[in-house]
Structure 1
Amino acid sequence: MFLRWILWLFFIMEELQARHRKEQRDLQSKITQKKRSATKKTRKGVNDECANLERELKERQEQELSEVNGETHTNGVTASETDEAAEESETVEIDGKGTSGTEKSTKNFPIPASTEASQDPDSALPTRKPNRAKARLARRAAEQDALIAQAAQEAANLPDLREQERAQMLGEFQKRGLREKEIRADGHCLYSAVADQMEQLGLGLKPTIAHKAVEGADPNKISLPGYKAVRAAAAEYIVQNADDFAPFLEEPLDQYVHKVKETGEWGGQLELMALAKTYGVEINVLQGGGRVEKIEPKAKIEDNGKKIWLAYYRHGFGLGEHYNSLRKAP
């Protein structure tokens, strides 16, 4: 029974941490967009706003984690502290003094006959009762410490998903004659990995992206990061084939396309489909356990080198799902 509770708590924490990572990614995309659109006059205000957003998200996430751990917060005070204060207020101090410091009548605390007969004047004073509230709090704290220790022991015996996935991927790389090019985990990893693969195959990127002219610069020599071109290519294909994508979206098409093209929103299956068809390449996504997800272009291609390989991780990186580029081993 206890193990079932521990596993339930473990999965609740996994889901909460996954949601926190997504909220962090979404906030990072939002902050990036705000800072890019800021002017010299508004930059300080935008920076302050972004700092407040990050602080509020951090505080809320810390509070949610505390609640899962049994430390519910109420106006900055934990529930255990509130209970302690309440129980302390219920404890009667039998010392002849009230809480206000005024002397109270002791007629409600009759002195036993044996005490009355005592020659020692101190023995006539009532005996102080044990503080039951503190005893209960100490007992609860001890029980919670024991549960935490047992949970930590059982959690230590759970499989390390990150290490397992990494070992599986390394085995697959060796088996298939591939080596890994690590891509920065910044929200653009899928697009950066595809750009790296296209560059390795000498296939080039499209489309030519319209951009603001830089004063005094040759417009023919202005270049953008590869991931921007790949993002634009995916967004353009989705717009041109809206009927194929709209049924799978949970938001209006224009908002979705804006995220693909202009923000740090992470890419997935839909974007891979759009890129395979745009560039006319077969995209092979290698996952832990040796599974390969193939996304083919409009027409099945022959083995002419127009295949690209990506490594897909579920557990290997701090912010969650991640793509790396795979090249042929020398």
Structure 2
Amino acid sequence: MEEKETAEELLVKQHRKEKKDLQAKIQGMKNAVPKNDKKRRKQLTEEIAKLESDLSQKHDEELKQLNATDETMVEEVLNGVEALKVEAGEPEEAKQPRVTKAQKRRDKKAAQEKERESRIAEAEVQNLQGMRHQEGLKLAQKLAQHQLQIKEISSDGHCMYRAIEDQLAQRVKPELKMSVKELRSRTAEHMRNNTDDFLPFLTNPDTGDLFTADEFEKYCNDVEQTAAWGGQLELRALTRVLNLPIEVIQADSPTIRIGEEYDGEILTLVYMRHAYGLGEHYNSVERLKDPTSAEDT
């Protein structure tokens, strides 16, 4: 009789297939972009990183949900078995059927495979947590050199705009402050009015072709009306909308500076590649707090 796979084994297989499918899709995207087209290759790299991070976060959440469900089910089953023993008043040995040597071998093999898969899943989570920890340490060191520290921004798809909103609230005149909704609207408006500056950097992730006019309009509508993630194109538009320079500090790469032609006070964001499982994320910054004074408050 064929052994039935556990929920965890099925989930691991599903994750492997999704990773394999994504790699095939990524390879197709790479093949569709000429190697000498640096602008499109750069945009492609960002798109690939986003796809990989989204899938990693999805797998992480599914594993956590499965583990939580398994713990609850095991507890319920054990409680039910104990209750049946008490009601029947029979010794446990009398209820257990005889197990053949072949069945024992199959059970042992299944248990070993399940343990191996669990170790792989646990290692992936620990590796991610380690990367996140190292990234945080590097960023803290960089920021401390400028007497700054990270100011956490919620990860809801609006993080880049919320970080800009926070920076404006900290640094500029009241009349220049904007809400997330206003920032998105002004960004989309600027991109629509300056199509030639943005359209060449946007490609269809499935075909690798440059966006059509309709696709570009949909992209701008998403910027304005949804929680679509923002990147360097939107930051470029924001520097022009605000007439202010923006810098993005990263753990393992040089700081990116956009809008250096503007003389206003620079807005500082922190870009985190491993902040939320897989997920890219922007935070704001604030003045470094004195630990001794924080303890006194």
TM-score range, shorter chain: 0.5 to 0.7
Cα distance, 1:192 vs structure 2: 1.2
Aligned equivalent of 1:246, options 187, 199, 212: 199
Look up the SS of the partner of 2:267 in the other structure.
Answer: strand
Q: Which residue number corresponds to residue 320 of structure 1?
A: 279
Q: Does 1:233 align with 2:186?
A: yes
- The 5 Å alignment of 1:65-214 reads 131=100, 134-145=103-114, 147-148=116-117, 151=120, 158=127, 160-203=130-173
Q: What is aligned with 1:301?
A: 262
- Please list every run of 5 or more consecutive structure 2 residues that lacks an aligned counterpart in the other structure: 1-15, 21-48, 68-98, 205-210, 290-297
CA distance in 2, matches of 1:23, 1:156: 10
Residue 267, structure 1, aligned to residue 230, structure 2: yes
**Offset, 1:178:** 1.1
Task: Render the CA deviation track for 1:176-210: whole Å, top value 9, x for unaligned.
Answer: 11133221221111111111212222245679xxx
Question: CA offset at residue 317 of structure 1?
Answer: 2.5
**Counterpart in 2 of 1:282?**
245
The alignment yields a C-alpha RMSD, in angstroms, of 3.8
Question: Is 2:255 aligned against 1:292?
Answer: yes
Structure 1 counterpart of 2:237, which letter?
A
| Cα deviation code 1:216-271 (max 9, x no counterpart) | xxxxxxxxx71111111111110010111112223511111111111111111110
Pairwise CA distance, 1:21: 4.1
1:206–1:228 CA distance, 2 compared to 1 (3 A) = farther
Q: Could you say which structure has the greater relative contact order, defined with CA pairs below 8 angstroms and 6 or more residues apart?
A: 2
Secondary structure of the corresponding residue to residue 312 of structure 1: strand
Helix, strand or coil for the counterpart of 1:288?
coil
Partner of 1:19: 55
CA distance in 1, matches of 2:141, 2:257: 20
TM-score by length of 2: 0.56
C-alpha separation in 2, matches of 1:158 and 1:20:
12
* Whole-angstrom CA distance in 1 between matches of 2:141 and 2:186: 33
The one-letter amino acid paired with 2:199 is A
Looking at structure 2, the residues matched to 318 and 151 of structure 1 have their Cα atoms a distance apart, in angstroms, of 16
Query: Quick check: 1:283–1:295 contact (8 Å CA) kept in 2?
Result: yes
Whichever residue aligns with residue 169 of structure 1, its letter is L
Q: Secondary structure at the match of 2:282?
A: strand
Q: Which whole-Å CA distance do the structure 1 matches of 2:226 and 2:189 have between them?
A: 15
User: Residue type matched to 2:158 in 1?
Assistant: H
Report if the CA contact (8 A) 2:52-2:278 is conserved: no
Instruction: Report the Cα offset of residue 326 of structure 1.
Output: 1.6
Residue 311 of structure 1 corresponds to which residue in structure 2?
A: 270
For normalisation by structure 1, the TM-score amounts to: 0.51
Max radius of gyration: which structure?
A: 1
Contact 1:312 1:322 in 2 (8 A): yes
Contact 2:248 2:255 in 1 (8 A): yes
Q: Deviations over 1:263-316 (max 9, x none)?
A: 11111111001001221111100111362111125xx234xx521100111112
CA–CA separation in structure 2 for the residues paired with 1:20 and 1:205? 41
Identity among equivalent pairs (%): 32
Q: Which blocks of at least 5 consecutive residues in structure 1 are unaligned?
A: 1-8, 25-57, 67-129, 208-224
Amino acid at match of 2:284: S
Task: Please state which structure has a larger fraction of its residues in helix.
Answer: 2
User: How big is the shift at 1:323?
Assistant: 1.1
1:140–1:231 Cα change, 3 Å: same
The answer to whether the Cα contact below 8 Å between 1:205 and 1:226 also exists between their aligned partners in 2 is no
